[in-house]
Amino acid sequence: MRILLATAVLLSGCAAAPPARDPAVVRTDTGAVRGAVTTEHRLFQGIRYATAGRWAAPRPVRAWSGTKDATKPGHMCPQVGSPYAKTVSTTEDCLYLNVTTPRAVAGKLPVMVWIHGDGALGAGHFSDARALASRGVVVVTINYRLGVFSGFGYPGLANSGTYGLQDQQEALRWVRRNAAAFGGDPSNVTAFGVSYGALALGGQLTSPGAKGLFQRVAMQSGETMMDMVAGSLFPSLPAYPSFAWRSTEEVTALGRTYARQLGCADLACLRALPVQRILAIPQIMNVFQVYAYGNDVLPDSPPEAIRAGRFHRMPVLAGATRDEHRIFVGMNYDAAGKPLTERQYGTLLREAFGKDAPRVKRQYAAHRSPSQAWAAVLTDRMWARGTHEQNTLLAEHAPVYGYEFADRRAPMFLPLEADFDWGAYHAGDLPYLFPEKAARLTPAQRELAGQMTAYWTNFARTGSPNGPGLPAWPQVAEGTQSLAPGSIKPIDYAAEHRLGFWN
């Protein structure tokens, strides 16, 4: 019988080939998932990476049999949306992630894990990672708990005010276990994020639990070292020494206050409340858009830890936009139909800077409008000052590549209508990295987008953004890289933002 079978194979001219592997199916450590495949990419959506009870640590998911569908996003975490983002969710089962890879994967690719911005709304699937993946990387975008479901504190809660940070760490542990199955290198992971996502990464740099979970970090418009000037985000908001870091005691006190509003006297009552009841309290998501320190997740305030040199050493790419605060001033005043008057500008300066208000006004008098002047004051005093301190301190122990996104004609991708010059506004660089927001880019802006995706993926690959065909990018001690269409060059960031005056 064996001789007959062998003869039949020889006569057929070749042995039967093994069945081709289905590129849409990947086996993770807990089970198989089926995604979508195009001519250029593979996209896997809605992969559950953890489960978590309300205000409890996340846990890895249990294994499953069969193949799960991964062609649709998972649930968003609870949120009520905003005037500029009409997103709503009441589902706490929300710890999902998405993976985008090139269609053909040869060897182990760098992995980039995206932490989306805004600590009260958003989800990973809103960021289309195809442009980045086309540069030869695996991109993972994640959901994590937001607002009151992340930053809430109460007596008896372990690690109050850190649940979103814990989710991010659990997602990174999932990446470490599963990157290779998608063609990625689990020993070469770059965590990157914008705004609140970048702030979170500033915390992860100092968190003991994040050690070894990523090897490079890119922080876009992060607030890690930023303080709050009176009236900066909202007209009545007081000054505060930190943008979003609060002590466990402060967060717990806040939790007690809001528990009374919710009619609860203990944790069991709070955990039994419907999500809709919690979200019905005005501003509760924004109030708890903070992370707490003085616990196992964040033993110290991240700004103080960084100032003391206590952070995980790794290459850093970090920066801000040229006109960070214009979007906040525009939303509060001009887009609301009430642009600042000269008198209101003077009042804001006095409330923020007291006896130094006249000196500040002399420095920032030559602007198109009082709104633009107030935005310039806060961009320099808060954003640039915090970014410069962060990059300078990190550069004492690690290679740091600083940047400023400087395209003052960047298209506004949020639904904001106003006769207002938004400039290079906060998060205005997102359309240059994620193509779903890039429809209105000019040819010159598209060229800049290609250069930026090349810089970011080079950094993920080697720890340096530099590469063939790109303007040289020095480390931050030699200058901050200005990114604008047709004009990429190092600048003196401190001089441009008058940091000598502010310091």
Write the DSSP assignment of 370-425 as a string of letters: HHHHHHHHHIIIIIIHHHHHHHHHHTTTS-EEEEEE--TT----S----S----S-
Q: Average pLDDT in the 337-360 region? A: 96
pLDDT at 273 over 70: yes
The CA distance from 174 to 355, in Å, is 53
Sign of CA dihedral 236, 241, 243, 247: negative
Phi-psi region of 118 (alpha: psi -120 to 50; beta: other; left: phi over 0): left
Predicted local confidence at residue 369, as pLDDT: 93
Identity of residue 24: A
Beta-carbon count within 10 A of 207 CB: 28
Q: Classify residue 409 by burial, with Cβ atoms within 10 Å: 0-12, 13-18, 19+.
A: middle
Average pLDDT over residues 433-437: 79
pLDDT given for residue 19 in this prediction? 56
pTM, 2 dp: 0.95
**Residues 5-64: tens digit of each pLDDT:** 333 333 344 444 455 689 999 999 999 999 999 999 999 999 999 999 999 999 999 999
CB 185 within 8 A of CB 108: yes
Q: Indicate left, alpha or beta for 427 from its phi (over 0: left) and psi (-120 to 50: alpha).
A: left
In the DSSP assignment, the letter for residue 231 is: T
For 448-472, write each residue's pLDDT tens digit: 999 999 999 999 999 999 999 999 9
pLDDT one-digit tens code per residue, 201-225: 999 999 999 999 999 999 999 999 9
Residue 3 has pLDDT above 50, yes or no: no
Distance from C-alpha of 260 to C-alpha of 253, rounded to nearest angstrom:
11
pLDDT at 437: 56
Nearest to 248 by CA among 308, 299, 196: 299
CA distance 160 to 350: 36
Nearest to 497 by CA among 485, 484, 482: 482
Nearest to 231 by CA among 422, 117, 377: 377
Cα–Cα distance between 254 and 256 in angstroms, integer? 5
Phi, psi for residue 114 in degrees, rounded to 5: -95, 125
- Give me the mean pLDDT over the 132-159 stretch: 98
Q: Report the SS3 class of residue 310.
A: coil
Supply the pLDDT for residue 17. 47
pLDDT tops 80 at residue 406: yes
Nearest partner of 367 among 377, 358, 359, 357, judged by Cα: 377
Angle, nearest 10°, between helix axes 196-204 and 163-178? 80
Arithmetic mean of pLDDT over the chain: 94
Secondary structure letter of residue 435 according to DSSP: G
CATH of 25-502, one of 3.20.20.70, 3.30.70.3340, 3.40.50.1820, 1.10.10.10: 3.40.50.1820
pLDDT category at 84 given cuts 50, 70, 90 is confident
Mode of pairing for the β-strands spanning 36-37 and 109-115:
unpaired
The two three-digit tokens of residue 298, written as one number: 């964040």
pLDDT at 140 over 90: yes
How many Cβ atoms are within 10 Å of 69's Cβ, its own excluded?
11
Residues 6 or more apart from 366 whose CB is under 8 A from it? none
What is the residue type of 473?
Answer: W
| 369 labelled catalytic | no
Q: Give dist(CA 427, CA 322) in Å, integer.
A: 11
In this prediction, residue 436 carries a pLDDT of 67
pLDDT digits (tens, 9 = 90+) for 172-189: 999 999 999 999 999 999
Provide the pairing of β-strand 36-37 with 96-102.
Answer: unpaired
Of the pLDDT bands very low, low, confident and very high (cuts 50, 70, 90), residue 139 is very high
What does the pLDDT read at residue 235?
84
Among residues 195, 207, 221, 482, the one annotated as catalytic is 195
Q: Give the model's pLDDT for residue 106.
A: 81
Domain locations in the chain?
Answer: 25-502
Strands annotated E in 165-243: 184-194, 216-220
418 half-sphere exposure, CB direction, 13 A CA radius: 23
Give me the pLDDT at residue 110, please: 98
Residue entry with tokens 């195009």 = 38
With beta carbons less than 8 A apart as the criterion, state whether 178 and 315 touch.
Answer: no
pLDDT confidence band for 439 (50 / 70 / 90):
low
- The model's pLDDT over 284-336, given as tens digits with 9 standing for 90+, comes to 999 999 999 999 999 999 999 999 999 999 999 999 999 999 999 999 999 99
> Quick one: CA dihedral 321, 326, 329, 331, positive or negative?
negative
Residue 10 has a pLDDT of 34
